[in-house]
Structure 1
């Protein structure tokens, strides 16, 4: 079975930050590297998403051509990926002529079907000063939901609500600052509504036309939850053309001046990237997309779930020739030091900024990769901190992995001249260690194949811990002092070398730069593409990973510790980043203080209650799994929450503050012992706690991202 992997095409409108890396690229890289080590046939494609209104808007503001914008950020982001060990098989771009051709052919194939498009004439805002219809992002106005005066025509970035331009209050053109006028324009709408029934069955049951295509238990709960929220609200036909002069021209007579909507052409970029790879390598692109023995896996962030689980699959099925994704292991969001990444207020660190700042330090890329892997937002939002970065590097990589391998090589050279010692073939200690390595490599591999990358990293650390404990308990230095000829010394070092060999292999998907060094030390040769497969085979046959008599090298200090060396300039760089964060925080606090300068009266305190009354409330932590609008009410959302030991139905009056997609995955505090009751015909079995300010804005009362579900709040 061959595997085609894709990662969300990064938008070529600016530099990428750590959240992007943790969402769609680092997990895919771990997965791709592991599959290659298992000798599997795998192809991983990605590329720059280079169309869309945001790029043309930026180009107009800067007085340059859109091509100059995308050229700059295509090369910048590709360079950042390369520096951080992201091992795409092909990195394409959607401005390439082959992509234009592929997208137009895809559109025409759907058009030939005769039932996939609906042509509508609608009213759209037009700016007469520039003689141009305005795409959603070209319009700003007041959000009808939260009152934000800077909401865009497609979304309010304060409350997160999806919008249409005509919903905005007092809209203005972003380009000229003038009030636009409504004019009629013709567009092509993809009949997404016609695909609703089979999409529900495919997502919930994994079946299509009675054939089992995937196991829904293998999909993440928040992925299925967000999909079903959309599907249960009912799908609508979606416009897939825009009035723009930058993009892929709609290949239909009478569509002059119209381009394909970026969210129609971007996922087709996976197909064109595969085509370009095949063109340059002589491969067969179609077998990856169409063959029965090929599987497709999309790695994305949670903001792209709907497009990869609903819109693109519907496009693929409408076309009729392509496989549907077997899995879409979407990650949640990564925050930075307790807040969202924000370029505008300087909160966070960009990938290239990290690469440039730490370029002179050993294994710098691996240090970042490891800190992110140990804190991946797989099931819920996570938080990157510099303290965590330092701790994961020093405790895991320096203390456990680097220290163990260094001790093994030093002792092997001291006692056996740098060669793997001879041991008896019936040695029970050797057999025991062999069995442990076989189990560890299988456990790590199973976790990676199950998209549980944090668990896999934990299992890797446990293997390093096992090595340290084994060596420390055996204490060959004490044995040597008592009797240099003691055969237990050879057994101990033989086994320790086998553990180091397994670690050099198991490290490869996670920290490839350091893994290559470890491999050179222990094996004296680079790893083969199927090294993991061969190692598992040897261990299953009771064979060692390194034969007696083989030569090993010197490790030295692979991971110089950060925290113990105050003069280490890495500390200075981290402090510089902390100072930058502090300045950004102070600026944010000052703005908030100015906004709250007028003393707004708080709601009066309620009457006192006894402590006994308070303790009657059962407050517990939970995570929102699904969310959908309640059909009989404009104010209510129907949620499903995970309480750890059970799931419950909750009806919450927050529909005017949050869309269903916004609340899926939210960490919440709930009152769980209220008497159940029906609201608008839907059973509610708990209440979610919210905070409300003077303007009526609601925010969730949320426990930390790493706090479990079902725990008591006191």
Structure 2
């Protein structure tokens, strides 16, 4: 059991505003963070959740060039689209921010403190420069093969193996979006700031050894690989004209690495979302980081080192207590790809299908420990069979029992015991230590199976005694995964007030339930719950 008066800071990686969110995006950290936050609030815990967009990311520039569009206009449009798609999916964050002057000042102050404390080192390094485009190459500006796993990759991180890379060491490296190809490449030497990662390796190893139970298998393996050898210095700056400018002498043509910027950025948005008020009134405070496995190095190595450096410099900053990863979600057994058009946009799916039903399927097939597959035909068939039809059968038999006058709002010792057992199960699968969307969805299916089984039994005297309470508990158990369905069911059952994990809901109206409480097709906008 978790501490009763517990508070959580919940954060997810900022989506890059070079496009809207597709279903692969929705299946990952954003959905996980939302479900986790909903359950913790249901339990009475205080939750501050924050998200922003990765406006200073180089992929914005390369996408804008490909689309022949101004990057600032691209960001503005996609920021609005991303927020709308999250809303359509009922994915709630207390703030979904966009960098502004206050944000830029906060990030700059953070690194100026580290610079003044001597935490950052300055080095001369060799980099590729594309003479045709007059651009230094890093991240989205360069492509090649990963020197660790040899898969195709862009600069600085390989999304296949999770290892960082120095763009200068990429195999068969070449520029992106350049008509000159490799002919325009030359090697130049530039000044840059770095965080000396090797000096933090022992502390990082100790940190993760003490929190090993919070780590999923693929992340544990990656950490073992990364921490068994000396860590390369982490670049804090790049020579570029897109991003937050560096104020230090000799580095005026550089910007902060967005993956370095991101750590203080998270702190800023949590503060904007109400971080201080949450912290003061809680017995314990946990910082829960949701992330995709492909970005694990930045969050679990670079950001942990940045936090340690900041603490050494006298700043009061947190280190994440939990890292909850997910793998890639595949579409028809292949990676989602915007450039190849192999994707389903979130807003297109959610304009056609019920957001609660989609959320339930994303949970049931979630790629939490390995890659999983999404197929539209499989999805619709599965939702119809395992959610819509199953609940319709429960509704039909429940209404019949209401007509027979055998349903009351009271519980029974047997049902109270069963419900408490399921409550304990849900508490485990929604705990930050053992969080599992797949197990949560499976557990909900098992509960519906139990309710259906007991409703159709002929021994009405025994099973009907607590069946009203059992159906009411459906609303409680559905709330984190399917908030609109839970709200509509609670309203039809006459459950007063907000659903609370501490008190089992009691039926206020024993009456037939209407059809359509959960459907495959999208609901009208007026029926969708926006509550968190």
SS at match of 1:502: helix
Query: Which residues of structure 2 form unaligned runs of 5+?
Result: 1-5, 523-532
Aligned equivalent of 2:367: 377
Contact 2:409 2:506 in 1 (8 A): no
SS at match of 1:345: coil
Structure 1 residue 515 displacement after superposition: 1.0
Which runs of structure 2 are paired with 1:522-671 in the superposition (5 Å)? 522-525=493-496, 527-528=498-499, 531-535=500-504, 545-546=505-506, 550-552=509-511, 554-560=513-519
Contact 2:33 2:290 in 1 (8 A): yes
Cα 1:98–1:552, aligned 2, differ >3 Å: closer, same or farther?
Answer: farther
d(CA) in 2 for partners of 1:524 and 1:292?
Answer: 31
Structure 1 residue 272 displacement after superposition: 1.5
Contact 1:11 1:49 in 2 (8 A): yes
Contact 1:12 1:74 in 2 (8 A): yes
Structure 1 residue 111 displacement after superposition: 1.0
Cα 1:304–1:138, aligned 2, differ >3 Å: closer, same or farther?
Answer: closer
Q: Deviations over 1:317-373 (max 9, x none)?
A: 1111222111101112211122211222222312122123x0xx5xx1011111111
Structure 1 residue 76 displacement after superposition: 0.9
The TM-score with structure 2 as length reference comes to: 0.87
| Residue 251 in structure 1 maps to residue 266 in structure 2 | no
Contact 1:31 1:448 in 2 (8 A): yes
Task: State the structure with more CA Rg.
Answer: 1
Cα 1:142–1:495, aligned 2, differ >3 Å: closer, same or farther?
Answer: closer
Cα 1:553–1:91, aligned 2, differ >3 Å: closer, same or farther?
Answer: farther
d(CA) in 2 for partners of 1:404 and 1:502?
Answer: 13
| Residue 344 in structure 1 maps to residue 339 in structure 2 | yes
Contact 2:240 2:253 in 1 (8 A): yes
| Residue 498 in structure 1 maps to residue 469 in structure 2 | yes
Cα 1:253–1:463, aligned 2, differ >3 Å: closer, same or farther?
Answer: same
Q: Deviations over 1:163-198 (max 9, x none)?
A: 623545474563452512222211001111110001
Aligned equivalent of 1:330: 325
Q: Deviations over 1:567-626 (max 9, x none)?
A: x9xxxxxxxxxxxxxxxxxxxxxxxxxxxxxxxxxxxxxxxxxxxxxxxxxxxxxxxxxx
Aligned equivalent of 1:198: 203
Contact 1:445 1:456 in 2 (8 A): no
Report 1 or 2 for greater relative contact order, CA contacts < 8 Å, sequence distance ≥ 6.
2
SS at match of 1:308: helix
SS at match of 2:29: helix
Cα 1:140–1:294, aligned 2, differ >3 Å: closer, same or farther?
Answer: closer
d(CA) in 1 for partners of 2:55 and 2:120?
Answer: 25
The TM-score with structure 1 as length reference comes to: 0.66
Contact 1:370 1:511 in 2 (8 A): yes
Aligned equivalent of 1:400: 390
d(CA) in 2 for partners of 1:48 and 1:374?
Answer: 27
| Residue 389 in structure 1 maps to residue 379 in structure 2 | yes
Structure 1 residue 525 displacement after superposition: 4.1
Aligned equivalent of 1:515: 486
Aligned equivalent of 1:118: 121
SS at match of 1:184: strand
Aligned Cα RMSD in Å? 3.0
SS at match of 1:100: helix
d(CA) in 2 for partners of 1:142 and 1:495?
Answer: 62
Cα 1:302–1:63, aligned 2, differ >3 Å: closer, same or farther?
Answer: same
Aligned equivalent of 2:103: 99
SS at match of 1:119: strand
Q: Deviations over 1:372-413 (max 9, x none)?
A: 11111122111112343123312221232332134313431x
SS at match of 2:493: helix
Aligned equivalent of 2:3: none
Aligned equivalent of 2:285: 294
Deviates more, 1:269-278 or 1:155-164: 155-164
Cα 1:399–1:343, aligned 2, differ >3 Å: closer, same or farther?
Answer: same
d(CA) in 1 for partners of 2:46 and 2:60?
Answer: 36
Structure 1 residue 461 displacement after superposition: 1.3
Q: How many residues align?
A: 508
Which runs of structure 2 are paired with 1:444-523 in the superposition (5 Å)? 444-449=426-431, 450-474=434-458, 476=460, 488=461, 492-523=463-494
Q: Deviations over 1:635-662 (max 9, x none)?
A: xxxxxxxxxxxxxxxxxxxxxxxxxxxx
Aligned equivalent of 2:404: 415
Task: Pick the aligned partner of 1:365 from 352, 355, 365.
Answer: 355
d(CA) in 1 for partners of 2:287 and 2:148?
Answer: 39
Query: Which residues of structure 1 form unaligned runs of 5+?
Result: 207-213, 424-428, 477-487, 536-544, 563-567, 569-714
d(CA) in 2 for partners of 1:328 and 1:242?
Answer: 27
Task: Pick the aligned partner of 1:233 from 229, 232, 246.
Answer: 229
Structure 1 residue 142 displacement after superposition: 7.7
Contact 1:437 1:499 in 2 (8 A): yes
Cα 1:333–1:422, aligned 2, differ >3 Å: closer, same or farther?
Answer: closer
Q: Deviations over 1:216-262 (max 9, x none)?
A: 22322222211121111221112110111111111323321210001
Cα 1:226–1:140, aligned 2, differ >3 Å: closer, same or farther?
Answer: closer
Cα 1:262–1:170, aligned 2, differ >3 Å: closer, same or farther?
Answer: closer
Structure 1 residue 551 displacement after superposition: 4.2
Structure 1 residue 447 displacement after superposition: 1.6
d(CA) in 2 for partners of 1:136 and 1:197?
Answer: 28
Contact 1:405 1:500 in 2 (8 A): no
Contact 1:370 1:392 in 2 (8 A): no
Aligned equivalent of 1:354: 349
d(CA) in 2 for partners of 1:146 and 1:307?
Answer: 18
Contact 1:335 1:384 in 2 (8 A): yes
Contact 2:234 2:302 in 1 (8 A): no
Which runs of structure 2 are paired with 1:36-115 in the superposition (5 Å)? 36-93=41-98, 95-114=99-118
Aligned equivalent of 1:137: 140
Contact 1:520 1:526 in 2 (8 A): no
Structure 1 residue 475 displacement after superposition: 5.8
| Residue 308 in structure 1 maps to residue 283 in structure 2 | no
d(CA) in 1 for partners of 2:419 and 2:145?
Answer: 61
Structure 1 residue 268 displacement after superposition: 2.4
d(CA) in 2 for partners of 1:189 and 1:324?
Answer: 20
Q: Deviations over 1:196-222 (max 9, x none)?
A: 001111112x1xxxxxxx4x2232222
